């Protein structure tokens, strides 16, 4: 089956990407630019603590879609999955008190796995806030994770050595509540990425030719760039040209003398884009602030007709979605006006 060309639909778990054993596709899906950065992350205690927890009592014949199904059910019950993993008893053991008790063993397993996946996603989100997406290696924690890994896998494989003096890049697309980077991604997409990482590594620990390849030949200090063919179609960056100019007085048109934006408004917050305009027009350090921003888009198929999207009248995220729907390489006009304070 060919991989999907669109992000998964929140009501259909089977519509989400299944990377299988494709290491390059997994790296591209999770936002890594280098496959070896993915390998370093998988061999670090930052990931192993969640993988080790996921292997306890997990029935491998349960399809991964069932875990996403559980997320959907919990989400419909008020986002309960975001509250199940707020604390952990120790660094390497998710507290059993966080798991509901069920008479149905299968249901218990599914909710436990959902807790682990959500806990992994939340920890990565916090790490991005605190350390810009890099996790430092704790030698003691790494040694403990290595011993537990060898105990769990019965020493079939040896965990590749990792440089304890360097930091590990985290998968930047597993951010809870932040799907602004790519068009139409649902809240389940980051959780599927976390789940795919766990499933991929589990497959690598099985005594198969793939396991031999991953653990016996993996190099953690090499450079293996992620090819464009490994990036899912909806995640491929589509260039957008944004012309910024002052709004003409009394009109909804930008002046012809415009500058090209180096900041993509589809990916930036409204605050960042406003500050970028001030920087482009040498207004930083002055009392002049951007008071109004208007994007001018082509209205339907009529090349001579434009629709004005004024920030404030139209929600910033809605404007971003409209910009994401534009074809690659098109040009968008952006007008702004200033207000001088004090």
Kindly report, residue by residue over 53-79, the tens digit of the pLDDT.
888 766 666 677 888 888 777 655 444
Secondary structure class of 273 (helix, strand, coil):
helix
What is the pLDDT confidence band of residue 85, given thresholds at 50, 70 and 90? very low
Map tokens 């965990």 to a residue: 159
DSSP classification of residue 79: S
Query: How many angstroms separate the CA atoms of 67 and 191, rounded?
Result: 10
- pTM beyond 0.85: the answer is no
Among 22-26, 68-72, 199-203, 264-268, whose mean pLDDT is lowest? 68-72
- List pLDDT tens digits, range 128-154: 767 777 888 889 999 999 999 888 877
Predicted confidence band of residue 214 (pLDDT cuts 50, 70, 90): confident
Classify residue 255 by its DSSP letter. -
Of 99-108, 181-190, 252-261, 292-301, the poorest mean pLDDT is in 99-108
Do β-strands 288-299 and 167-169 pair in parallel, antiparallel, or remain unpaired?
unpaired
Closest to 244 (Cα-Cα) out of 278, 289, 277: 277
pLDDT value for 196: 92
Residue-averaged pLDDT of the chain: 78
Single out the residue of 306, 320, 308, 317 nearest to residue 264, CA to CA: 320
Inter-residue contact 113 to 22 (CB < 8 Å): no
The dihedral over CA atoms of 282, 283, 285, 291, expressed in degrees to the nearest 10, equals -160
Q: CA 228, CA 24: separation in Å to the nearest integer?
A: 10
* 62 and 109 Cβ atoms separated by less than 8 Å: yes
Q: What is the mean pLDDT of residues 188-210?
A: 86
Q: Give pLDDT, residue 42.
A: 92
Sheet with 288-299: strands ordered across:
259-260, 241-246, 331-340, 288-299, 302-310
156 Ramachandran zone, left/alpha/beta (phi>0; psi -120 to 50): alpha
Q: Are 290 and 307 in contact (CB under 8 A)?
A: no
CA dist 319 and 268 (Å) reads: 12
């Amino acid at each position: 089956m060919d991989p999907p060309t669109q992000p998964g639909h929140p009501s259909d778990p089977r519509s989400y990407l299944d990377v299988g054993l494709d290491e390059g596709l997994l790296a591209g899906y999770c936002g890594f630019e280098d496959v070896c950065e993915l390998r370093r992350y998988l061999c670090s205690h930052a990931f192993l603590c969640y993988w080790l927890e996921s292997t306890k009592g997990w029935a491998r014949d349960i399809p991964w879609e069932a875990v996403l199904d559980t997320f959907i059910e919990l989400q419909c019950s008020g986002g309960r999955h975001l509250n199940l993993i707020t604390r952990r008893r120790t660094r390497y053991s998710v507290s059993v008190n966080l798991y509901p008790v069920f008479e149905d063993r299968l249901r218990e397993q599914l909710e436990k796995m959902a807790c682990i996946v959500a806990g992994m996603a939340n920890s990565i989100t916090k790490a991005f806030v605190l350390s810009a997406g890099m996790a430092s290696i704790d030698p003691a924690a790494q040694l403990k994770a290595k011993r537990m890994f060898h105990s769990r896998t019965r020493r079939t494989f040896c965990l590749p050595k990792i440089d304890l003096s360097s930091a590990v890049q985290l998968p930047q697309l597993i951010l809870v509540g932040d799907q602004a980077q790519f068009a139409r991604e649902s809240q389940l997409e980051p959780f599927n990425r976390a789940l795919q990482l766990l499933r991929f590594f589990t497959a690598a620990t099985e005594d198969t030719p793939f396991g031999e390849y991953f653990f016996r030949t993996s190099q953690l200090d090499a450079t293996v760039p992620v090819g464009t063919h490994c990036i899912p179609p909806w995640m491929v960056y589509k260039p957008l040209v944004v012309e910024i100019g002052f709004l003409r007085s009394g009109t909804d048109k930008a002046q012809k003398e415009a500058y090209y934006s180096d900041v993509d408004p589809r990916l930036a917050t409204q605050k960042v884009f406003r500050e970028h305009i001030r920087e482009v027009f040498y207004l930083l350090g002055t009392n002049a602030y951007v008071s109004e921003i208007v994007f001018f888009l082509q209205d339907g198929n009529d090349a001579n007709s434009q629709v004005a999207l004024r920030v404030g009248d139209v929600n910033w995220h809605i404007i971003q979605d409209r910009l994401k729907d534009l074809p690659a390489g098109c040009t968008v006009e952006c007008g702004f006006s200033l207000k001088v304070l004090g």
